A and B are shown apart, each in its own frame.
Chain A
Amino acid sequence: MRIQRLQSEPQVKTKGDVIDVILLEPLLAKYQGKKGSLIPLLQGAQEIFGYIPREAFEKISKVSGIQLSDMYGVATFYSQFRLNPVGKHIIKVCHGTACHVQNADAISDAIKEALNVKDGETTEDRLFTLESVACLGCCSLAPVMMIGDEAYGKLTGASSVKIIKDIKIKDGNKN
């Protein structure tokens, strides 16, 4: 189950978000003159910024000569690409078949309520982004969610919220 392809409105940027397009230079040099490189370019840009900011679109278009409209078309087609900034931790709740029959909806609902966000949204403190994803491939541990690179299996609504709260407390202690 993919997240919404088109997001309703771009989130308002905070002052801290300065996009440094110089960071794109090595990426652009790597794919210069290679055919069919739009998707790797966008993937690379997302790797750098966490999402694809408008400035990155414009820079890539200028250097590679690919039309902005084509780039937007591709970026909105594939669910991997994000056009809005994301939180520090991305919570991916699996909604594959195996997780669905083991009640993955309850996990999503519990997290939505606890964080007060909808699917694909980021919490106000920019700590968490909630996403629904298709199969993560850990079907035997269903229902599963993934935060960062860590997968958590055999969840219930309550245990998933507890995991998130623990991360929040841990993060709070560091600051």
Chain B
Amino acid sequence: MAQTKVIVGLGSCGIAAGANKVYNKIKALKEADKLEFELKKTSCIGMCYREPLVEVIDETGSFIYGDVTEDKATEILQQHVIGLNPIKEYVVKTDLFDTPDKGYFEGQVKIALRNCGYIDPESIEEYEARDGYKAIKRIASDKIPYEAVIQTVLDSGLRGRGGGGFATGMKWRFARNNNSDDKYIICNADEGDPGAFMDRSLLEGDPHAVLEGMIIGGYAIGANHGVIYCRAEYPLAIKRLNIALEQARQRGYLGNNICGIEGFNLDIYVKEGAGAFVCGEETALMQSIEGKRGMPTKRPPFPAESGLWRKPSNINNVETFANIPYIVYNGAGSFNKYGTEKSKGTKVFALTGKIKHGGLVEVPMGITLKDVIYKLGGGIQNDKEFKAVQMGGPSGGCIPKHLADLQIDYDQVNATGAIMGSGGMVVMDETTCMVDIARFFLDFTQKESCGKCTFCRIGTKRMLEILTRITEGKGVESDIATLEELAVQIKDSTLCGLGQTAPNPVLTTIKYFRHEYEAHIRDKKCPALSCKTLLTYEIKPDKCTGCMVCGIKCPVKAIEGEKKKAHFIHQEQCIRCGDCYSRCKFEAITVS
């Protein structure tokens, strides 16, 4: 038992699911009975749908337990840790026998997430033990020139993981070619897409990998200042980054003459965002670091020439940086052996929505959508019909079911009208209304528009008004054409990515789900039974037992009926809240 390790996953998701309670319970039991096993913390393992997760490593191997409660934790300690007898029915992942969740890990290749769930993110020793900081040390010991580092990154085929998909090596070369006394390397950790949490998990789970990526990037472009712009909504990520920064400074990975490389001086600090989606756009982000309103500026000049404080700057995304140490240490071939012709390596996706196994997956580029949703994701919740998957957040689009054989790479996804984006994948089933989804995203971009460009400020507002009207059953025949016209104008007349991509959700839903728009406008019906004002609730007299629950609970007293007699809904009074529908135990209420 002395060698047994018990590791609790304490990422944000895990904590929300109650992992802290489980950790404290195990700690209390360990101390009370003076048990001799090692209790450790790690971060997100990626199986968010099974949180809280506890891993037990004994002489025979590793066992990950899912959905652990305080009671289950006690059982696991007694039977497995003390009794050396794993509780098979609670195990969700092990190499020793098959589990129902096995499919979730098959097909995954972990490069960016290589350490997440394996190390204690607050320990630099554990990062170093898994080849951490070896890439920068090798650059120092072998005196690898910056040009060779840039060439390796270029050869690896790594493209910006924040969504743009621009070749990282190319970006670095531009920044290197501009001479200046001060240069900045910036990490964009302002992950604002609703439904995406890859960057948060990486920063919480493996902050040193991001730092090492930035240090190597700083060496390649010749930067002497580093900034991580992280959104304030991620307090745990900020805390762990600051711990990692302090450890890196103590070990000489930051500061002057890093790792003995003469003249390579770099320090990095964390800058907290203040809640503005547009600050994920690189020029707006730099404005925000300077303490101004985060409004994008015109390009050129590009940041590589004149960025933060008018100095040459280079911005990359968290996931991009996390890949760098692996590529530099293992060579370009270790990365570009995965993927398709133009999109190399792996990509992390946050799988959410109406999917059975939601969580964080890292897959090689070129895998089909179908495989991600059915093999890894386990299919749709409650075995409903798969309808579409939304990729790229508010800037992306909805890819319909008939394109499920699509290979995921930058160019193929772009061809559908969606974008790869940062990697959010929100799965939708037959009960999701596509007009409502388009309205939801436009509502988001409209509120987040900084207001600088007229078409983004007013155009999105007009589009939102039209979409709201359609979902309320007040749409007119010409609405679809007006939406399309506005969409094109907004795309053409705005400065930054936010405006240029804001109409994408509307355009893709019109392209693939025009019939739903038409049903709302012509028949005043919502095929997905989701738009409230278009619904009718009725009681089937033959099924109603007259239990009176619906009538008592109806907030507007629209339901009439005597005890043990069939009830009736007054349509003119009904506000369509659906309360009666969810309360009825006899399936007597229908919705159409």
**A residues touching B (Cβ–Cβ < 8 Å)?**
1-2, 35-40, 42-43, 73-74, 77-81, 95-102, 113, 133-142, 144, 151-153
Residue of A nearest to B204 (CB): A137
Q: B275 touching A2 by the CB < 8 A rule?
A: yes
Q: A97 touching B390 by the CB < 8 A rule?
A: yes
Chain B residues in 8 Å Cβ range of A2:
275, 277, 447-448
Indicate which residue in A37, A43, A80, A135 contacts B195 across the interface (CB closer than 8 Å): A135
Residue of B nearest to A156 (CB): B582
Chain A residues in 8 Å Cβ range of B272:
39-40, 43
Q: B291 touching A137 by the CB < 8 A rule?
A: no
Residue of A nearest to B555 (CB): A113
Q: How far is the CA of A152 from the CA of B18 in the complex (A)?
A: 10
Chain A residues in 8 Å Cβ range of B535:
none
Indicate if B161 sits at the interface (CB-CB under 8 A): no
Q: B13 touching A77 by the CB < 8 A rule?
A: no
Q: B424 touching A97 by the CB < 8 A rule?
A: yes
What is the size, in residues, of chain B's interface with A at 8 Å between Cβ atoms? 53
Contact status of A139 and B192, CB under 8 A, knowing A40-B272, A144-B16: no
Q: How far is the CA of A36 from the CA of B277 in the complex (A)?
A: 20
Contact status of A136 and B447, CB under 8 A, knowing A2-B275, A97-B352, A98-B426: no
Q: A151 touching B292 by the CB < 8 A rule?
A: no
Q: How far is the CA of A48 from the CA of B507 in the complex (A)?
A: 45
Q: How far is the CA of A136 from the CA of B393 in the complex (A)?
A: 14
Residue of A nearest to B47 (CB): A140
For B269-297 the 0/1 string (1 means CB < 8 A from A) is 00011111100000000001111111000
Q: A136 touching B233 by the CB < 8 A rule?
A: yes
Q: A97 touching B275 by the CB < 8 A rule?
A: no
Q: B197 touching A137 by the CB < 8 A rule?
A: yes
Residue of B nearest to A100 (CB): B440
Residue of A nearest to B200 (CB): A137
Interface centre among A35, A73, A78, A102 (most CB of B within 10 A): A78
Q: How far is the CA of A137 from the CA of B426 in the complex (A)?
A: 13
Q: B16 touching A139 by the CB < 8 A rule?
A: no
Chain A residues in 8 Å Cβ range of B428:
101
Q: How far is the CA of A152 from the CA of B17 in the complex (A)?
A: 8
Q: How far is the CA of A111 from the CA of B278 in the complex (A)?
A: 29
Chain B residues in 8 Å Cβ range of A74:
291-293
Interchain nearest-CB distance for B50 vs A (Å): 9
Q: How far is the CA of A168 from the CA of B309 in the complex (A)?
A: 49
Q: How far is the CA of A74 from the CA of B48 in the complex (A)?
A: 36
Q: A101 touching B49 by the CB < 8 A rule?
A: no
Find residues 344-390 in chain B having any chain A CB closer than 8 Å to their own CB: 350, 352-354, 358-359, 390
Interface centre among B51, B195, B276, B440 (most CB of A within 10 A): B195
Q: B16 touching A101 by the CB < 8 A rule?
A: no
Contact status of A97 and B393, CB under 8 A, knowing A73-B293, A74-B293, A151-B15: yes
Interface centre among B350, B352, B432 (most CB of A within 10 A): B352
Q: How far is the CA of A95 from the CA of B448 in the complex (A)?
A: 14
Q: B197 touching A139 by the CB < 8 A rule?
A: yes
Q: B275 touching A140 by the CB < 8 A rule?
A: no
Q: How far is the CA of A101 from the CA of B233 in the complex (A)?
A: 21
Q: A137 touching B234 by the CB < 8 A rule?
A: yes
Residue of B nearest to A66 (CB): B291
Find residues 472-507 in chain B having any chain A CB closer than 8 Å to their own CB: none
Indicate which residue in B275, B354, B450 contacts A80 across the interface (CB closer than 8 Å): B275
Indicate if B39 sits at the interface (CB-CB under 8 A): no
Interface centre among B196, B289, B432 (most CB of A within 10 A): B196
Indicate if B193 sits at the interface (CB-CB under 8 A): yes
Interchain nearest-CB distance for A135 vs B (Å): 4
Find residues 7-36 in chain B having any chain A CB closer than 8 Å to their own CB: 12-13, 15-17
Q: How far is the CA of A136 from the CA of B15 in the complex (A)?
A: 13
Chain B residues in 8 Å Cβ range of A133:
233
Interface centre among A37, A77, A79, A98 (most CB of B within 10 A): A98
Q: A95 touching B16 by the CB < 8 A rule?
A: no
Q: B49 touching A80 by the CB < 8 A rule?
A: no
20 A-B pairs in the complex with CB atoms less than 8 angstroms apart: A35-B290, A36-B309, A74-B291, A74-B292, A78-B273, A79-B275, A80-B273, A98-B194, A101-B437, A135-B194, A135-B195, A135-B233, A137-B200, A138-B16, A139-B352, A139-B358, A140-B49, A140-B51, A140-B359, A151-B12
Q: How far is the CA of A81 from the CA of B441 in the complex (A)?
A: 23
Chain B residues in 8 Å Cβ range of A153:
16-17
Residue of B nearest to A75 (CB): B274
Q: B274 touching A78 by the CB < 8 A rule?
A: yes
Residue of B nearest to A141 (CB): B16
Indicate if B444 sits at the interface (CB-CB under 8 A): yes
Indicate which residue in B193, B288, B309, B390 contacts A135 across the interface (CB closer than 8 Å): B193
Q: How far is the CA of A136 from the CA of B48 in the complex (A)?
A: 14
